[in-house]
Every structure is written in C-alpha cells, then in structure tokens.
Amino acid sequence: MAERSLGFYIALQSTGILEIAFDPGKSANESLSIVAVNTDAGFMPGWLTGFGDKIYSISRTGYLNGEDSSGGVFAFRREPLSTSPPSGAGLVLFDQTSSNGKGGVHCEVSPDGKILAAANITASTVSIYPLSEEGSIGTPTFVFDYNQSDPGQNEAHPHQAAFDPSGQFLIVPLRTMDRVDFYFVQSPQKVHRVHCIHIPAPAGARHVTFNPISPSKAYMYLISEKDNSIRVFVLNYSARGPQGLTVELKQTLSAMGKDLAPTPAEHKDLAAEIAVSNDGRFVYASNRNLTRTDDDILTIYSVDADPTHEECHLTYLGSESTRGKHPRMFALSNDEENKWVAIAHQFTQDIVVFERNRKTGLLGEVRGRISVKVAAPHQKTRDEVTFVETREGPHSREEFKIGRTEGPMCILWK
C-alpha cells in the first residue's frame, strides 16, 4: 500500500465517510479539505476502526434496506483516489453484514486481525465476527444479548467493545448497568465473559483506553458520562488466561477539571472520549454541553507511572476550549509524536485541529477548521431525537437544534 498523505476519515451520520486532507503548511481556514465522500457505510455511520489497509465502520440502524432496525458493519479497502469508483472515492466497500442489533455505536479489530467486535447500544448486544485473511467479515460466532443474559436489565447499553493490549480480553463498558465486562477471547469460536467491574451508580460507563507499561501490566482509563469521571485501573497479567488477570481501581477523578466532585446524572454535562499519548505521558478527555463554562473543553492530565504513586496516577494539567459544541469524539494523530489533535463537534458540525506540544502535553494553536455540513442523502426517520442547547450563552438555542441523524461521530487518522 502506498504511503498515506496526512489527513483523516470522518464518520458523518447524515452522509457517510468523509476523507479529509490536512496541509499544516496552509492557514487554519484553508488547511483542511474534503477530498472524497463515501455513501456506502449505511444509515447513520457512527464509528470507524482501521487495520492495515482496511477500514471497518458500523452504522446505527436501517441495515440493509433502510427498514430493518439493526445497524450494519462494513469493510473497506483504502485505495488511491484516482483508481477508485466515483461513488467510493478513496474507500472501496468489499463486504458488509448486519451488526445484529439496533444502535451500532462501536467496532474494533483484535490485535491479531482475526476478530471484529461490534457494540449495539440500543439493542444491548455485542457481536463477534471472524475475519478472513483478506479482511472479509464472516458469520457472527457470538451475539451476546444482555436482554437475555441479564434478566431485568433490559437497558444495559454497551457503548464500546475494545480489546486490551494483550489481545486476550474484550472490554465492554455498559453505560446503564454501571458495569464493565471482560470477555476472554481465545478465538472467534471461544469467547466468554470471565470478569466484571461494578461502578458506583449512576456513573454511565462509556469508553476505555489503555496505557501499557509492560507485557505484564497496563493502566486502563474509564471515562463515564453521567458522573463525568475518569477511573484509573491497573491490569496485571501474571499468566495468560483469565486466572492470570487482576483488575484494581487506583484512582477516581473528575473529567472536567481540578478537584471537582462527580456530578449528578442530570445529562447536562456529558464526558465523551478519552485518549492517551503514544509516549504514555498524557491523557486527554473531551467534555460536552458544559453548564459551568461557555465552552466545551478538552481536559489534559499528566501520567505518573511510578507504581508507588498509583493513587495519584493522573494529575490535572489544564483544559482547552475545543472551539465548538459537543465534542463527541477526538483523536490524536498516529505519528510517533501525536503532533495533531482533531476534534469532532456533533452540534456545530465541524472539525477543529490543534497542534500538540509533545513536551508539555498542552494544546497549541488551531491549525485547521472545516465545516462538514454536507448535503445528506438520507431521510430522517421517525426515531429521530432532537437535541437542543438549553443553556444561555454566546449561541442561540436554535443554532444547536440538531437531529441524531446529523453531525460527525468519529475520527480516524490515516
């Protein structure tokens, strides 16, 4: 595969997958440009994940004919723009299937490239698919249905299905059950739940990310959107298999700032995404719809990897306005230095790129901004839910009236 130019892909609910080029040599208002639009990612694409020259996406609903409530999972090859069909631009769809549940919200490929896991938040299901050597999606070997496995808990709402650094375990945060499940993954045919962590309710467990220290130890950071918290866990691997894994909570702190207590579950402030720098020295969290400030923010934390200081593993460094509303997702560029941070604003429907200081971890100047209000080929459904910004501030209420079928949901750097 040819060397990739600087840029990223966007999962845009109203349209599909956008390919955006980034030229940091240009001004912030000119550095980003949409170079391709792919409309083959189903209705309301919500997440993207990459593996080699493949990209996998998941859609919220409407698979395959627009009438089924289930979402879909889609497999694309990255190809040069000049050789791709006009409808596919730089991505060529080569496989697709049902996500086996409504509300496809996350998908991820195992480190060995043999499994695709998908989380469906509305249906409360997690699907496991074998992947061929070419990347094709096989028939699901498991569909874990929380409506059936946890009687009386018909709204588990799995928000993610993420593989740990060892590749042995699939971690599933359950937003409504205030629980994080661990599945032991031996092969696509051998996956079973072996462990769970209960979080004080109502937390709203959303996403995890990992900071591996050694083959036998990693930190896991859990961000929760109801109490707007970050929890730091230590994963110790004394041996392969579920018996060799221990999970211990070491620290709980606010995702919104220094010395703040967990918030009531009022759906006003909503923590969203969490990421760690490649060097393991800094952690970042995005916060949506803040009521205490005029701006939504990205908070920044330093990491102390000293095992004797694990109760204060993360230290708040500061925050930066994201320059938009509702930063549902952000992503650090995948170069060694993570030189760039791209932020997707669901409400203002734009992407903002900051330069990152590798030494301090802080964000510098805005180096790119682009609107992604692309004409939508899809019609809104009767299931549409409208969000309205209710806080008085520098923007009017009507400016933030937006349906779920619009706005950028995910960023994947090339």
Report the C-alpha gap between 74 and 58 in whole angstroms: 6
Identify the CATH class of 7-413. mainly beta
Cβ-based neighbours of 98, under 8 Å, separated by 6 or more = 63, 64, 68, 70, 71, 72, 73
Cβ-based neighbours of 221, under 8 Å, separated by 6 or more = 208, 209, 210, 211, 230, 231, 232, 233, 274, 276, 283, 314
Report the C-alpha gap between 61 and 99 in whole angstroms: 9
Q: What is the pLDDT along the chain (414 residues), one digit of tens a residue?
A: 444 579 999 999 999 999 999 999 999 999 999 999 999 999 999 999 999 999 999 999 999 877 789 999 999 999 877 655 444 458 999 999 999 999 999 999 999 999 999 999 999 999 999 999 999 999 999 999 998 766 555 589 999 999 999 999 999 999 999 999 999 999 999 999 999 999 998 899 999 999 999 999 999 999 999 999 999 999 999 999 999 999 999 999 999 988 887 777 766 678 999 999 999 999 999 999 876 666 799 999 999 999 999 999 999 999 999 999 999 999 999 999 999 999 999 989 999 999 999 999 999 999 999 999 864 454 444 343 333 333 333 333 334 444 456 899 999 999
Model pLDDT, residue 405: 66
Q: What is the residue extent of each domain of the chain?
A: 7-413
